Chains A and B, each alone.
Chain A
Amino acid sequence: MKINTIRYSFKQGFINIRRNLLFSLASIGTIIACLFLFGVFYSVVYNMKHEVKMIEDSLTVTVFFEQGIDEQRIMEIGNEIKSISNVETINYISSDVAWKSYVDDVYNGDMNYVQNIFGEDNPLEDASSYELTLKDISKQDATVKTIKAIPNVRKVNSSDGTANSLNSINKFVGYASLGLIGILLLVSMFLISNTITIGISVRKEEIAIMKLIGAKDSFVRTPFLVEGVMIGVIGSVIPVILLYFMYDGVVDYLAKHYNVVANLIHFVSTGEIIKGVAPIALLLGVGIGFFASLLTTHKHLHV
């Protein structure tokens, strides 16, 4: 396409938007609402995910062995645990390390005192263990069951389901927001399509003449595609900017007014949120703008 034609298409695209300002604004407004909502949900879900990950990382599963088995067998058990797909890390805690951390915890690390009572003996002789972290806490029960079935495993300690329930709330919020955003995207598409349809009907005579003079389909169509894409771009840049300024404000507000929240949740930085939201929002905005006008021009221009 020639430079002149590109310039023409942009000019006409903007003229379309301006001529038909009310509908253009309605379309832009809907996309803004839709993508802003997307940004808000993204922030919530992303923060919750982040929180779950932190909790998950701090949760461990501890595996103890039957008394009197040798190190060879303990290594075999270790290999078997490693081969379970949900196991992320595995860490061997020897009885010495276990005893030392017990002394640290219970006797404030006072080895002299402890030696007076126990001498050189290690009361936790048979308490060596594996400490595991899991990839997916929601599958903890199944994993524990699998480990318990390994011969010579005496006991498996695991944590409760906090992370688990947080995870399922997160999933629910995720799906609910996806559904809502999907509906809003459809509404935006419908509005853009209406805007373009009006633009086409206003310029019906002009388009008819263009075609008789010998305009290519692409020439007739491009201004409307530009119009759709511009609506999409404006509709996606504004909510990202809004989110950028509001996210910090909301986090600050929560931190100041709800100490509990601030202590409980470790908010992700604005930059990280925007880095995630901006490309998706732009893609969605431009995408629906483009496709809405593609479909509409296809229908009304018979191109």
Chain B
Amino acid sequence: MIVLDHVTMQYPTGKKALDDVTFHINKGEFVFIVGSSGSGKTTLIKLLLKELTPTKGEITVEGKRYSRLKRKEIPMLRRKLGVVFQDFRLLKDRTVFENVAFAQQVIEKSMKEIRREVPAMLTMVGLADQYKQYPRELSGGEQQRVAIARAMINRPDIILADEPTGDLDPKNSEEIMTLLDEINKKGTTVVVVTHNREIVDEMKKRVIRLKKGKIISDVEEGGYRYED
């Protein structure tokens, strides 16, 4: 469902953030992407979101070849991808409810659908009681749950998370990972970029390791132990 075929990304500065990267991720998989800072993880996420265009190689998601994608088709592609960031990226002037509803507004869902689906999603991430609160009134873990609810509300096929626990304490980190694991078990493909050694070791998922833009290992039920 996600295929990178000899993908190279060189920034205009000349920096090669990804160098000839090839991998396959199947439908329903849970994959960690690990690697030290600057190894090209965020670049990889941006390529998958089609925020960036690779300088070489082809990306294919659900049969859509990115190089053939017209500008007008990008929104439809992105609706299949839910995205979660380290810094949550919630709208500060909107409540929990409004932040999640925003994702449906943006893809032009009706008020009726929004009123029906947002409360259910907030229940799923365990924030049903806090729908009226603003992001600043929530803990980091709670804010990340809102972000996950926003990413999930349009029922994407794939969740891309770029260091979702980077700003969280161990307890909250574990809860967020558990939530992502539950989402994966219901059928959504999940790709998580992370630094979190304990969690990667514990969860026994596939681990793709990047170093200086190259894949140096790709292990089923791997751990963080391959760190150099």
Binding site for B on A (CB under 8 A): 1-2, 4-5, 8, 205-206, 209-217, 219
Contact = CB atoms under 8 A, between A and B. Distances in A.
B79 A214 contact: yes
Interface in B87-124: 89, 91, 102-103, 105-111
B191 interface: no
A4 B111 contact: yes
B89 A209 contact: yes
Given A4-B105, A209-B91, A219-B106, A214 B78 contact: yes
B89 A219 contact: no
Nearest to A2: B108
A215 B110 contact: no
A2 B106 CA distance: 11
A205 B109 CA distance: 21
Contacts of B110: 2, 4
A7 to B, nearest CB: 9
B75 A215 contact: yes
8 contacts: A2-B108, A4-B109, A5-B108, A8-B105, A213-B107, A214-B77, A216-B75, A216-B108
A223 to B, nearest CB: 12
A205 B72 CA distance: 21
Contact of B106 (A1, A205, A214, A217): A214
Given A5-B108, A211-B78, A216-B72, 20 more contacts: A4-B108, A4-B109, A205-B89, A209-B89, A209-B91, A210-B102, A211-B75, A212-B83, A213-B78, A213-B102, A213-B106, A213-B150, A214-B75, A214-B77, A214-B79, A214-B154, A215-B107, A217-B71, A217-B75, A219-B106
B49 interface: yes
B106 A215 contact: yes
Interface of A is mostly: helix
Query: Of residues B71, B72, B76, B106, which shows the largest number of chain A Cβ atoms within 10 Å of its Cβ?
Result: B106
Interface of B: 49, 51, 71-72, 75-79, 83, 89, 91, 102-103, 105-111, 150, 154
A199 B89 CA distance: 19
B210 to A, nearest CB: 22
Contacts of A5: 108
A5 B105 CA distance: 8
Contacts of B51: 212
A206 B91 contact: yes
B103 A213 contact: yes
A214 to B, nearest CB: 4
A143 B182 CA distance: 94
Nearest to B77: A214
Given A4-B110, A205-B89, A212 B78 contact: yes
Contacts of A211: 75, 78
Contact of B154 (A4, A209, A210, A213): A213
Contacts of A8: 105
Contacts of A215: 75, 106-107
A8 B77 CA distance: 23
Contacts of B71: 217
Contacts of B103: 213
A243 B71 CA distance: 47
A1 B108 CA distance: 9
Contacts of B105: 4, 8
A278 to B, nearest CB: 35
A219 B76 contact: no
Contacts of B102: 209-210, 213
B89 A214 contact: no
A271 B107 CA distance: 47
A205 B90 CA distance: 9
Contacts of B109: 4
Nearest to A206: B91
A4 B102 CA distance: 12
Nearest to A302: B71
A213 B203 CA distance: 28
Contacts of B108: 1-2, 4-5, 216, 219
B92 to A, nearest CB: 9
A2 B91 CA distance: 24
A2 to B, nearest CB: 5
Contact of A214 (B91, B107, B111): B107
Contacts of B83: 212
A289 B110 CA distance: 29
A4 B78 CA distance: 21
A210 to B, nearest CB: 5
Nearest to A15: B93
Closest 4 CB pairs of A and B: A214-B79, A214-B78, A215-B106, A214-B75
Nearest to B112: A4
